[in-house]
A and B are shown apart, each in its own frame.
With several copies, the nearest count.
Chain A
Amino acid sequence: MDFRLGEAAEDVRRQARQFLEQHLTDEVKEKMHTTGVHHDWDFHRALSERGWVAPGWPVELGGQGYSVVEGLVMQEEFHQAGAPTYGVGTTMIVAGIIRRLGTPAQKELVIPRALRGEIIIVLGFTEPECGSVVVAAQTRAVRDGDEWVINGSKMFTTNAQEGDYAFMLTRTDPDAPKHKGLTTFLVPLRQPGVEIRPIRTLSGERTNLTFYTDVRVEDGLRIGEVDGGWDVMAVGLSLERAGAQGGESSRMLAALERWACTTPEGGSAPPASDPRVRARLGRAAAENEVSTLLARRSGWVQDSGALPGVEGSMAKLFASEAITRQSADLLDMLGPDGMRSEGDPTALAGGAAEYAYRFALGTTTYGGTSEVQRNIIAQRGLGLPRPR
């Protein structure tokens, strides 16, 4: 048993820190904060130049051949620093699918440009009426010669305003059983009929509701078989790698630990002299350590070639419930002062807890709600019958 990540991974960590110091400028952070957009073209291109758009891909395909754990360490650093990686993340999920399932022409079209940091692909699974049950997608694609005509809408298409393509799940056979009549397309976003409505979230991030009216996509941009979209989704899921967890929690804890060690103006002792403060921070520290360990286990299982089980679900569930609990608790700990908004010049600890309290709400929903994760863990992990 060895909890060290190893020299190679620690080397990645050092390089990531150097990279972030250079490229994650105050300007980039400020822009993210004011626009709510978790994508930055300059940062994105710098990533590409460094060869870090697809760190886990083989070297011969333009990646770095990193192990899952090495990729995770990179993510840990990027998340901890709050770097804008959402756009590159969705792009490379889709590039990964095309790498497996795409036609030569599709690979040619997408992969080099993705690796060069020139394009952004966004995800178009969720719809206003179906939420996280993406199999219920209603957006229609109807064949018209060599083209398909798309009508419908997609929810939470984050970065659509920056995006070149949406990787979209559409219904091509409304009469087939739900998961049988779906087809996936790479839909060019910069065309008439695409309408992007910005949506602001509680954490200040921007996402979108996107509408598609007689939008056209050539058949050459269909990924997988007609009515075979569900199989494509399955491949996408199997490519899911370990995701770093708890970056926001760690940032909050670090900020509050600095606060705890500082005697306030007009006070006689730092907050850390109160055992209640220490206990509450310590509980958060325990949860954050567990979040990190669960995510690393997920990466290690994949690197060791074992069939991944529910490790990813556990890591995601735990980390998101932990930040929800601890941000509420630590915000309370700050008393009235805790309510000062992140961004207000008077905010305590940079408003870290106030921001985390809002941010946390998204984590238990996006990427599969906590309820969905618990269902997965109960069924696949514990072997319980399908919940009802």
Chain B
Amino acid sequence: MALDLSPSEEQQQLIDAFAALYDKESSTERVRAAEPLGHDPDLWRRLRENGAVEMAVDEAAGGWGATVLDLALVAEQHGRHLGSAPMLEAQVAARTLARVGTPEATGLLEGAMDGGRLVTLALHPPRAGLLRMVPAGAVADAILFVDGGRLLVLEPGLGRIRVANLGSLPVSDVPVEGSRPVAEGPVVRDALEGALDEWLVLMAAAMVGPGARALEIGVGYAKDRHAFGVPIGSFQAVAHGLADAATALDGAQLLEREAAWSATEEPGRFRELAALAFGFCTDAARQASYRSLHYHGGYGFMLEHDIQLFWRRAKGWPAQYAEPDVAFGRAEACRLGMSGEEG
């Protein structure tokens, strides 16, 4: 055991398998077709068929027992192809149910794994009786959320309000009426914090995708497009901006992979690293997609150019939790041994 930054053979197979799936089922045409809702039922069906939910659950709970690192490698592909499917939330919700382990939770988990029900989770507690901007809330069959120390579940009916949003995500506002308890006691707080850690690191991994792909598109454009007789990539104003973005993205990928790895291999650092990775990867993806878009000149501003798809999601996807500074604060609270009041 020593430093090894390459995916193992198994990990590479996993990456390749999902890359192939997304190549086929999540082209930018498909991504556009799924807008504005941001949910592509065919992609989601294919992901489920390939075990996207089952893999996330421990073997003891009937799943395939993938590590968080495995899930992060898949999330990278998900982000790279802007997958219009609530995979991250479904995975984290399923893992949370397995961890809670009450009869209600187990029942919900069975539905999620075998029954094909889409269970998601709210990242923030309700305010004034309303869960706001629930990830996948517009398409979920059930929403897990925490209120007053209890874990509850809600089957959002006609009352949910779909929210059009910058990231083309199937979020919605959902009134909490009609919710029922799933668990209570200290396990709830642990489960929620653990779920948030996992969602943060998977979103961090997902952000490396649009960042890297936006950079590739930008580099390609900078090589092809000419101004004053030379490729625009030969101007330092363009080249240096892309070099900075590439550096940040390389760092971002190392950090989210380390964070995901630590979930099982160095669990004492997981919470800190997950939050650091979320903040850093979000910034890196935004920087890369903004620069790439800007260097496209007026073309980047056209809806028909793909680059805007990446730019909008780099802002919108991670914002379901909060801005990077909130995550950096969460990480620092861990480092200083404070309780996660910022979570």
Taking Cβ atoms with an 8 Å cutoff, the residues of A that contact B are 1-9, 69, 126, 130-133, 155-156, 199-203, 257, 260-261, 264-267, 272, 275, 278-283, 285-287, 289-291, 293-294, 296-297, 299-300, 303-304, 314, 317-318, 321, 328, 331-333, 335-341, 343-344, 346, 354, 357-358, 361-362, 364-366, 369, 371, 373-375, 377-379, 381-388
Contacts and interface: CB of A to CB of B under 8 A. Distances in A.
B322 interface: yes
Contacts of A8: 2
Nearest to A178: B229
B128 A1 contact: no
B250 interface: yes
B254 A257 contact: no
B219 to A, nearest CB: 5
- Which range holds the interface residue count of chain B? 35 or more
A291 B255 CA distance: 10
22 contacts: A6-B1, A131-B227, A202-B302, A257-B336, A285-B276, A286-B279, A291-B251, A293-B258, A294-B247, A304-B6, A336-B123, A339-B315, A339-B316, A340-B164, A341-B163, A344-B164, A361-B293, A365-B301, A382-B239, A384-B238, A387-B240, A388-B235
B139 to A, nearest CB: 17
Contacts of B302: 199-202
B11 A1 contact: yes
Contacts of B326: 279
B165 A279 contact: no
Which interface residue of A357, A361, A382, A385 has the most chain B CB atoms within 10 A?
A382
Q: Which of A6, A289, A321 has the most CB of B within 10 A?
A: A289
B243 A279 contact: no
A267 B4 contact: no
A293 B326 CA distance: 23
Interface in B19-77: 69
Contact of B233 (A290, A341, A385): A385
B158 interface: no
Given A69-B3, A386-B234, A286 B132 contact: no
Contacts of B298: 126, 131-132, 155-156, 362, 365-366
Given A373-B243, A383-B223, 18 more contacts: A1-B6, A4-B2, A5-B2, A131-B225, A265-B128, A281-B332, A282-B279, A286-B280, A289-B258, A317-B244, A328-B315, A339-B169, A339-B316, A340-B133, A362-B298, A365-B298, A378-B242, A384-B223
B164 to A, nearest CB: 4
Interface string B304-343: 1000100000011001111111111111110110100010
A332 B236 CA distance: 29
Interface string B253-274: 0110110011001100000110
Contact of A69 (B2, B304, B315, B331): B2
B275 interface: yes
B170 interface: no
Interface of B: 1-8, 11, 69, 123-124, 127-130, 132-133, 161, 163-167, 169, 171, 173, 219, 222-223, 225, 227-228, 230-231, 233-240, 242-244, 246-248, 250-252, 254-255, 257-258, 261-262, 265-266, 272-273, 275-277, 279-280, 286, 293-294, 297-304, 308, 315-316, 319-333, 335-336, 338, 342
Contact of B163 (A261, A293, A340): A340
A332 B243 contact: no
Nearest to A264: B127
A369 B297 contact: yes
Contacts of A383: 219, 223
Given A201-B301, A362-B301, A275 B342 contact: yes
Contact of B276 (A4, A282, A296): A282
Nearest to A293: B254
Contacts of A3: 3, 5, 257-258, 261-262, 265-266
Given A156-B298, A199-B302, A202-B301, A318 B237 contact: no
B275 A282 contact: yes
A175 to B, nearest CB: 17
Given A201-B301, A289-B255, A290-B251, A341 B342 contact: no
A335 B127 CA distance: 14
Q: Which one of B128, B161, B169, B227 has the highest number of Cβ atoms from chain A below 10 Å of its Cβ?
A: B227
4 smallest A-B Cβ distances: which pairs?
A6-B2, A266-B128, A282-B328, A282-B332
